[in-house]
Structure 1
Amino acid sequence: MSLQKILWICAGIATLIMGIGSGIHWLLGVALFFIAAVATVSLIVSNSEPAHGRGAIGVLAACVAVGFFFPFVLPLAYIGYVAWTRYSIASVDEGVNAAPG
Structure 2
Amino acid sequence: MPPALTAAAVGPAGQSSEAVARRRDGAEVAAVTVRAGQCVRVRDGWRSVRAVRGEPYASGGLAVVLTLDEGPALRLPAATPLTVRDDGNGPLPSPS
Task: Please tell me the TM-score bracket, short chain as reference.
Answer: under 0.3
More strand by share: 2
More helix by share: 1
TM-score (norm 2): 0.23
Structure index of larger Rg: 1
